[in-house]
Each structure stands twice: as structure tokens, then as C-alpha cells.
A and B are shown apart, each in its own frame.
Chain A
């Protein structure tokens, strides 16, 4: 899929933070400290702890922050399309809000699909995910939201090889 004129020729780019790695080592330190306090056997329990560690907004953000924008060689995080603040998690209900870079962005549906596929492949199946455009930031937000949250439309879209290829390209950096 080629676009000779990008929807947004001059995207605003922000610096990416590397919180995820610091948080990972902090979590490991925390587990090790607790294990030593209670004299727990660390070998098996560590894996159990990691499996049961509840998924939170930051982990979900880590899953989607490095998805590539379909048009520019930048991630959704650096283009400020996704942010941790726009992820709302309540039990198994997850709402991910994203902000297209411009109100007429024709890539909004693809970006939403990339987020959905990334989460579909990474999250346990218990999550019910709603993906919506931040209110007031896109001229067709209702129409795009309706498509992104129609599971039959999403399933059929993913059986379209051309569309799937575009999505895989955007996800390739996120999967690395």
C-alpha cells in the first residue's frame, strides 16, 4: 500500500522514555526481597509470581508503544498516538484510547487494527478490549470506532492478505 502524499507530512515527535526497563529490574528486586524475608524457595516460586503478577496499564503500554506508524518511521509512542494515560483497565475490561496525529488521518483504522492485533496476540484471552479514538480528535471517530470494535469486521479484515501485510510491518518492531 503506497501513499505518495502522507496524511501528515510533519508529525510532531517526542522523546521516548525508557521506564519499562527500570521498572522490570525494580520488580525483580522487590520479588527477591520478599522471597528472602519469608525464606521462600526462590526457584519455582519466581516463575509462579511472574505468571500471577497482575497485568497493569504500564505493561499494556509496553506492548503497544513501539508499534510503527504505517506512514512514518516512528513509533506510536513518539508520535504521541498512544500513551499510558490513555489506557484504562478495570478487571478484565480494557479500554485503549489513541489519538491520530491529524483529524483527517486516513490511517486511523489501520493504527487501531495494529493495536488490536498486538493485544490479541499478547494478552491472555480473558481481556475484553475496546479501542477508541480520543474524543474530538478525528473527523470520522464514530465510524472508525464502530469498525474497530466490531469483532466480525476485525476478523474479516485480518483475512485480507494485503491488509494483514501492512499490519505485520507496523508490528514487526513491536514484536522484536
Chain B
């Protein structure tokens, strides 16, 4: 069966059209990440390398009727032989788009920068390792930059979450080692605006952390409810909700409800200049049961592309979640929240066998191109998709 064909989803409002197949890795692709500023996408693999492709918008503006246009054309850009001794599991771009962090099963995180190619600094050269962050005792599973690029979080099978400060001169100082999970930590994710960190674990829990400026980083909330390993986390673009995906085959939505601020070790915690990172109470809002038929490995949350309707009133729209996992499906859900904070969801698109008959490990919305999604699979390929109106139902 060709990847990307689906026979069950013809009645959904949108369809998932294949745009590109990014080949080159020689082992399963674990993760894929879009550069937030440049037209560049990176992937990482069990083959210990990172590959990058650049893309441009397709010049072809005439779409034959019935055919889907190809919005972007991808060309291979770079291959980084990272020097990691084992699988590269996760990659993360800095918000400036200039740096890339790689998390590896060899227990280290490396941070990369592209050196200027010539004396004027105009042509860009090779990717060079700025620094290697050591300290984890065994496999690193995930790495992420905070929204302002000042902090990096990493996590590992050693049950810990480390927070590092990004300093000038390629110096990275470890600010905190958080040992609050009781098992392997699978994923870390930063809030889109505030200095608030979430972590997901094999212990079935999600923890939220903030910094007490007079003391240390600490976990102020445990989000329990999943009945098996939590693989992946994604904050909503508006920052008031968090989606989690689990081996228990559910996607859970957690929401921040108004409440007095968090009390830390030194009484009231105010982060930054009147920041509200620690305010509000995070609680379970909704569970999408049987979202997939096997373990769900990845969830990503992006804005609803322009021109697409939402479930209710447009001011209630909170964007699109994409999810994927061991059942080989990529699914897209529209989320909306009404005035009473009731969350509703609707499946808007579904593609089966997205990477053929093998697992899909990661999905990620493009931050620059509406409706464009990348995925990484056990077929050794990364793929790019366009989710748009189903011409047969609309």
C-alpha cells in the first residue's frame, strides 16, 4: 500500500496530502524539527546523524483540478556526523534559529552552530559543535530551548531533568538537577511564553516546574491520570493548555484554571517582572480515549490555518493537534474552549500507514507554513504533509 493512502477518512473535513519524502538516513528516524526562523528542517536518527533539508515555495501556482498543489519543494542541505556514540534521539532549535541541540543515547547533549563560511560572514559554512553538556548518567531522551532561548532543559533514563543556562562564549551552566520523577523521563517541553517547564515520564506522570528566584527550580504540580508511559507533550500556542500523549492510547488535555499563585519554599513565587508562570492551577480538562490503536509517541500543537472553520465560535478556537504512534496513523484534531472553559475536540483529518507498515515516531507542525506537518518514521524517512480542505466533502 502506498504510504499516505487512506480508505476510512474520506468523510472528514480535511485530508492529509503528501508533500515530500526526505530520504538519506540509514536507520529509523526518531525526531524532526523545523527551524523557527529559516526555511530549514532537521531530522535525527539511530544512525547517529542529523540531516537537514531546505525548502522553497513551489513556483507552480496553477493547480490542475482535483490535484493537490505542492506548496513547498525540499532539497537536501546538510548531513552532520554528530560524533555522538549512539542514537541521536531528539533535536531542538533555539528560538533564534542559529543553534541546534542534539540529545543522544550516549548520555550527552551537544549544541551546534553554523560557522561563517567566508570572511564577510555571508556564505554559511559547516555545523560545528559549540559545546557538549555532560552529566546525565545514561540515555538522554529529550532536549528543548525555552521560549526566550536563555535556558535548555534535558532529560534522561536516569530519572532527572537538568536545566542549563545559555551563556555567551558557548558556556552552559547547569542551574538545576531535578529528581522528581521516579522513572525514565521521556520528554521535556517549555511553555510558549513563560519560564515554565513540563516533563513526561515512564512513571505515567507529568510534572510542571518553575523557578523560585530565591531558591531553586521546583515541581509545583503533578498531572496524574495517564495509565502508562507518557511519551510526548505539547503546549497550546495560547499557553493555557497542555496536550500529552501516552502508551495508554489516549491524548489528554490539561488546562490552567484561575487560582492564587503557587507557594514556594520562600512563600509567594513571582517569576520575573510580574510573570504569571506559577499562577493558576493546572488540572485535567479532557481525555481523547482510543485516539490511536497502539502507543502514541508524539503530539504537536499548532495554530488553525487561516480559512479553516472551527468547532464553535472562532474566538473559541485553540488550534490543531496532530498525533501519531505505533498504529501508523497521523491524526489531526481541532480543539476549542468555550467561555466556561469546557474543552471540545473534533477529528479533522486522518491518514493511515503514513510511513508504510511501520511506526511513526514524531510529528511536528511547521511554525512558518500553515497546515504543513513533518513526521519521522521507522522506515528511515522523514515526510512532509499538507493538511487542507478535503475536496470531496467541501
Contact between chains at B87 and A159 (CB < 8 Å)? yes
| B184 interface residue per 8 A CB criterion | yes
CB neighbours of B350 from chain A (8 A): none
| B358 interface residue per 8 A CB criterion | yes
| A72 interface residue per 8 A CB criterion | no
Contact between chains at A128 and B326 (CB < 8 Å)? yes
Nearest residue in B to A126 (C-beta to C-beta)? B357
Contact between chains at B87 and A155 (CB < 8 Å)? yes
Contact between chains at A128 and B202 (CB < 8 Å)? no
Report which of B139, B202, B295 forms a contact with A156, defined as CB distance below 8 A.
B139
B349-363 contacts to A (CB < 8 Å): 356-359
Interface pairs (7), CB distance under 8 Å: A125-B358, A150-B229, A151-B326, A152-B89, A153-B184, A156-B105, A159-B86
| A33 interface residue per 8 A CB criterion | no
| A172 interface residue per 8 A CB criterion | no
Given contacts A125-B357, A128-B294, A151-B295, 8 further A-B contacts (CB under 8 A): A125-B356, A125-B358, A126-B357, A150-B202, A150-B229, A151-B326, A153-B157, A159-B86
A150 to B204, alpha carbons, bound, how many Å? 13
What is the size category of the interface that chain A forms with chain B?
A: 10 to 19
A128 to B89, alpha carbons, bound, how many Å? 21
Nearest residue in B to A92 (C-beta to C-beta)? B357
B137-148 interface bits toward A, Cβ cutoff 8 Å, 1 = contact, 0 = none = 001010000000
B281-300 interface bits toward A, Cβ cutoff 8 Å, 1 = contact, 0 = none = 00000000000001100000
Contact between chains at B229 and A146 (CB < 8 Å)? yes
CB neighbours of B294 from chain A (8 A): 128
CB neighbours of B202 from chain A (8 A): 146, 150, 153
| B186 interface residue per 8 A CB criterion | yes
CB neighbours of A153 from chain B (8 A): 157, 184, 202
A152 to B186, alpha carbons, bound, how many Å? 9
Q: Which of A128, A151, A152, A159 has the most CB of B within 10 A?
A: A152
CB neighbours of A150 from chain B (8 A): 202, 229, 247
B199-235 interface bits toward A, Cβ cutoff 8 Å, 1 = contact, 0 = none = 0001000000000000000000000000011000000
What is the size category of the interface that chain B forms with chain A?
A: 20 to 34
Contact between chains at B46 and A155 (CB < 8 Å)? yes
CB neighbours of A156 from chain B (8 A): 86-87, 105, 139, 157
CB neighbours of B157 from chain A (8 A): 153, 156
- By a beta-carbon cutoff of 8 Å, the part of chain B in contact with chain A is 28, 46, 86-87, 89, 105, 139, 141, 157, 184, 186, 202, 228-229, 247, 294-295, 326, 356-359, 378
A118-176 contacts to B (CB < 8 Å): 125-126, 128, 146, 150-153, 155-156, 159
Contact between chains at A159 and B105 (CB < 8 Å)? yes
A153 to B229, alpha carbons, bound, how many Å? 12
Nearest residue in A to B326 (C-beta to C-beta)? A128
CB neighbours of B89 from chain A (8 A): 152
CB neighbours of A151 from chain B (8 A): 295, 326, 359
**B90 → A minimal CB distance (Å):** 11
CB neighbours of A155 from chain B (8 A): 28, 46, 87, 105
A2 to B55, alpha carbons, bound, how many Å? 54
A24-41 contacts to B (CB < 8 Å): none
CB neighbours of A92 from chain B (8 A): 357
Nearest residue in A to B378 (C-beta to C-beta)? A125
CB neighbours of A126 from chain B (8 A): 357
A78 to B46, alpha carbons, bound, how many Å? 36
CB neighbours of B229 from chain A (8 A): 146, 150
A151 to B202, alpha carbons, bound, how many Å? 12
CB neighbours of A159 from chain B (8 A): 86-87, 105
A111 to B61, alpha carbons, bound, how many Å? 58
**A35 → B minimal CB distance (Å):** 29
Nearest residue in A to B358 (C-beta to C-beta)? A125
Given contacts A125-B358, A146-B202, contact A152 B86 (CB under 8 A): no
**B246 → A minimal CB distance (Å):** 12
CB neighbours of B46 from chain A (8 A): 155
**B87 → A minimal CB distance (Å):** 6
Nearest residue in A to B27 (C-beta to C-beta)? A155
Nearest residue in A to B379 (C-beta to C-beta)? A125
